[in-house]
Structure 1
Amino acid sequence: MDQEGRADRLAEGTAEDRIPRIDAYGFERPEDFDYVFYEEFFSRYLVVLTRRAIKWSKLMQGNNGVEKSLKVKRYIRKGIPGEHRALIWMMVSGAQAQMDQNPGYYRKLLEGEKKERLVEAVLTDINRTFPDNVQFHRSADPCLQHALYNVLVAYGHHNKNVGYCQGMNFITGYLILITRDEEKSFWLLDALIGRILPDYYSPAMTGLKVDQEVLGELVRMKIPAVANLMDRQGVMWTLVVSRWFICLFIDILPVETVLRIWDCLFFEGSKILFRVALTLIKQHQASILEARNFPDVCEKFKEIIKGPFVTECHTFMQKIFIEPGSLPMKTITKLRETCKVRLLAL
């Protein structure tokens, strides 16, 4: 490039110059972040966000909440604008109703006596939670570690069957980033752990183990070539997808994609996790089938959660409702029963 061309480029600035190194949620962008692709994607996505924001504003005009309906379901699948996300999650998950029915309960939990083992477990994980997010650094003002500690300790005393389990810190951290409110984060966590994902975070993690087996059965039904490969190479599903389920795709997929998944998770329930997992596998079926041994398979599953496909969150969310085909809840329920019996027999 000649000197004049270099000057023109500097004057215009590169994508890396224009896009902040810290995203809107406080996460530092990784070293290998593709600024050029992201700028192209976001310029398109901004048009979608603007259009959706106008539609949501009309839907909520003169109304403090939303009722469950096919229209709301359609709107949620197309994405909730950031300014409405906390409110909609609270309404459609039942968290708002629980909070309204239990005034002062969260504060009472915080003021009550604390179990030493629970507090120690939470404190151990606090500094490990989002080290790449500036809002969770001890030097941040305000530092979200304090809110994270409060919600996790309060929840551990509220749900004694669960207490505290690794993975809950990341989920709670996301809730705090979106709601900016401890009590709302507490009730949303309760909606997830108590109703939407039962037994995922209990000491035995039975629900989590069952759902990983259910995914294996769904892959066998819908993407049999991949299921056969997993069998031949002796790869257990828990080795490649356990973090997908336990962290609800946090630190697996890009932030905005995770939030779009959670929009649907709070409204439609846990089957959304299967739709996401099946879409990732089906979209990359050809690549996965190139694996020749156990390490290859594991490497392929690391590759399928990166790149443009998962960054283009709007297109990705359209795909999860098309690629896996029909996925009725009664099928998942039946598979859960079968897989639970099999697991408990081991």
Structure 2
Amino acid sequence: MMSLCPVQELVWILHKALEASQLEKRTCAEFLAATGEQERLELLRHRERLVADLRSRLEEAKAEADTLRRSLTQRDTQLDDIEAYKTQNKFLNSEIYQLTKLWRKSSEQEKSLMVKCAFLEASNCQVESRYLGVLRQLQETKSLDPAQQGAVQKMIEDALKGELKSVVKLNLTRDHDEYGFKIIPDYEVEDMKLLAKIQALEIRSHNLLHQEGVDRPLLSRWAQYLAGRSDDDLCPSPELKALLRGGVPQEYRQRVWSWMVQTRTRTMREQHPQRYQQLCEKSRMCPHPASRQIQLDLHRTLTTNQHFCSPSSPALQQLRRILLAFSWQNPAIGYCQGLNRLAAIALLVLQSEENAFWCLVAVVEVIMPQDYYTKNLVASQVDQWVLKDFLGEKLPRLATHFEDHSIDVSLITFNWFLVVFVESLPSDILLPLWDAFLYEGTKVIFRYALALFKYKEDNILRIHDSVEIYQYLRFFTKTISDSRRLISIAFSDMNPFPGRLLRNRRALHLDRLQGELQELEEQQREFVKESSEQKDKELDTLVSEDEEEL
């Protein structure tokens, strides 16, 4: 058995050799089966190409493997870098967090210091105001001897020499508001500078104590009301009326005014969509007779406002085009002094010439009664009679005081009504007044006029000289510091104030005034007739005397 193993191994080797020989035989048979030498050569070349193709693929595979190996190595390196960056980022985030905490703490401390500075400055203004008030009382005291009077006068002169200056300049305090109006008005009454400065100090004190300037609940209510509403979705409602009476935040005022003006002038604008452009073109081609007066009034418009104080201001040219366009729009009025102020306030808020033009149209032709701005100002005069009626009913003590001192309030209030308080009130009161006025109409003017007198009623009652009363009435509207209190007086204390009552009073006084005007015209005609006849008689007398001499 041990001898058979090599034999079996030999048999297996022979078997494998036989298989290889048979394979070679088949290959040779295939080679020899090809017809012709050329075909055999083609077959060999084909095999060689296959071998070359396989070899190139093998090389490409090796190259791809090397590339993949290198990319894996780079990836490992990048992963190490990423881990390092993560560690560094954690460290930096910790530093940023600590710096943020320090910044917030510093900001809070800075804000706290600013509030304290504002409070201290406000307190200083209040002390200075009380000091000047004491000086004013001493000035009016008759029992002082000449030396004491001289000392008091010297102290007053020293107090009035300097301008109002801040003890600390705060970033939150500004000279002008968002619309370019001065926050603290200039002194306009030369012979009452002491009282004017006292009032200015009170205004500054109030502004410093409320320098955040934004009524956050009001802003929140407006944001909630306008959220999700397009201009087409806005419509008159008790909710909107209540919001407008409280005033529109500066962020939303332009949009709300645009909607109110659009609502009041929609029919005219739909009928004449290019009306403003056509009127501007007409103004260029054909000068209006009122153009000279308009040019003169341009430089008298809002002279303390940043946007109108410079002769080269673009706003002045925009205002000129608006007023010229309106003079062609309404030939019955053309131009009336006061329209420049109405257009200017519209331009400041709406920031658009065309929208400001339509705002002027809405005020003059839609909101105000007819003949308010015509040559004889009939409707304007009527409203002064109506105001006197309401003054006697709502504020009887003040009406009696005016009557006792022969004060004609229309000398002061006529301009209030004609220009809707522009340049008579601080901007933080004027603009909320206009917010309500554009929505509710002229009733708002009466409410605010009465509220102004009510606000300062006690001060006015303490003045017993008619000249001083007139002087005080000329500037007291600019000394109002608490706009919220004034709004409350206008829309709460003055109630009830039904629109029907206003219409009836206007009709009553219009009939009366028209009767007086007719009587006056009749007297003028009789005077002209009598004067003419008298001249004729004088001429006849002279002729007769000449004939007698002859």
1:153 equivalent in structure 2: 324
2:168 equivalent in structure 1: 14
2:435 is the counterpart of 1:267? no
For 1:9 and 1:242, the matched residues in 2 are separated by 42
- 1:239 alignment partner, SS class: helix
2:462 is the counterpart of 1:290? yes
More deviation, 254-263/289-298: 289-298
Contact 1:52 1:81 survives alignment (8 Å): no
1:250 equivalent in structure 2: 422
1:47 equivalent in structure 2: 216
1:179 equivalent in structure 2: 350
Contact 1:27 1:134 survives alignment (8 Å): yes
1:118-149 deviation line (CA, Å, top 9, x unaligned): 11111010111122122124466x62011100
- Mark the CA change 1:82 to 1:114 in structure 2 (over 3 Å): closer, same or farther: farther
- Mark the CA change 1:63 to 1:151 in structure 2 (over 3 Å): closer, same or farther: closer
- Mark the CA change 1:249 to 1:260 in structure 2 (over 3 Å): closer, same or farther: same
1:1-346 to 2 correspondences below 5 Å: 14=168, 18-29=172-183, 30=185, 33=200, 34-43=203-212, 45-58=214-227, 60-62=228-230, 64-93=232-261, 94-95=263-264, 97=266, 98-112=268-282, 113-138=285-310, 143-198=314-369, 199-302=371-474, 304-307=476-479, 310-346=480-516
The unaligned stretches of length 5 or more in structure 1 are 1-7
Contact 1:122 1:152 survives alignment (8 Å): yes
More deviation, 128-137/22-31: 22-31
Report the alpha carbon displacement of residue 170 of structure 1 after superposing the two structures with TM: 0.9
Report the alpha carbon displacement of residue 22 of structure 1 after superposing the two structures with TM: 2.5
For 2:204 and 2:218, the matched residues in 1 are separated by 20
- 2:335 alignment partner, SS class: coil
- 1:253 alignment partner, SS class: coil
Contact 2:206 2:482 survives alignment (8 Å): no
- 1:73 alignment partner AA: K
For 1:68 and 1:53, the matched residues in 2 are separated by 15
Report the alpha carbon displacement of residue 303 of structure 1 after superposing the two structures with TM: 5.3
Give the TM-score, by structure 2 length: 0.57
Report the alpha carbon displacement of residue 219 of structure 1 after superposing the two structures with TM: 0.8
- 1:84 alignment partner, SS class: helix
More deviation, 158-167/223-232: 223-232
- 1:22 alignment partner AA: H
- 1:233 alignment partner AA: H
For 1:85 and 1:219, the matched residues in 2 are separated by 31
Report the alpha carbon displacement of residue 246 of structure 1 after superposing the two structures with TM: 1.4
1:3 equivalent in structure 2: none
1:159-203 deviation line (CA, Å, top 9, x unaligned): 111111111111110100001111111111111000111222111
For 1:253 and 1:136, the matched residues in 2 are separated by 17
- 2:211 alignment partner, SS class: helix
Q: Percent identity?
A: 25
- Mark the CA change 1:184 to 1:63 in structure 2 (over 3 Å): closer, same or farther: closer
- Mark the CA change 1:273 to 1:15 in structure 2 (over 3 Å): closer, same or farther: farther
1:209-242 deviation line (CA, Å, top 9, x unaligned): 1111110000111212222222222222321211
Give the TM-score, by structure 1 length: 0.88
Contact 2:288 2:327 survives alignment (8 Å): no
1:65-87 deviation line (CA, Å, top 9, x unaligned): 41111111112112222233233
1:298-319 deviation line (CA, Å, top 9, x unaligned): 1342354133xx3332332222
Q: Which structure has the larger Rg?
A: 2
Report the alpha carbon displacement of residue 296 of structure 1 after superposing the two structures with TM: 2.9
User: Aligned residues, how many?
Assistant: 335
Greater helix proportion: 2
- 1:150 alignment partner AA: R
Contact 1:148 1:169 survives alignment (8 Å): yes
Report the alpha carbon displacement of residue 16 of structure 1 after superposing the two structures with TM: 5.6
The unaligned stretches of length 5 or more in structure 2 are 1-115, 122-166, 187-196, 517-550
For 2:510 and 2:502, the matched residues in 1 are separated by 12
For 1:9 and 1:192, the matched residues in 2 are separated by 44
- 1:186 alignment partner, SS class: helix
Contact 2:173 2:211 survives alignment (8 Å): no
For 2:310 and 2:466, the matched residues in 1 are separated by 41
Contact 1:282 1:323 survives alignment (8 Å): no
Contact 1:95 1:190 survives alignment (8 Å): no
- 1:18 alignment partner, SS class: coil
- Mark the CA change 1:344 to 1:230 in structure 2 (over 3 Å): closer, same or farther: farther
Q: Which has the higher contact order (CA 8 A, sep 6+)?
A: 1
For 1:28 and 1:282, the matched residues in 2 are separated by 25
Report the alpha carbon displacement of residue 49 of structure 1 after superposing the two structures with TM: 4.8
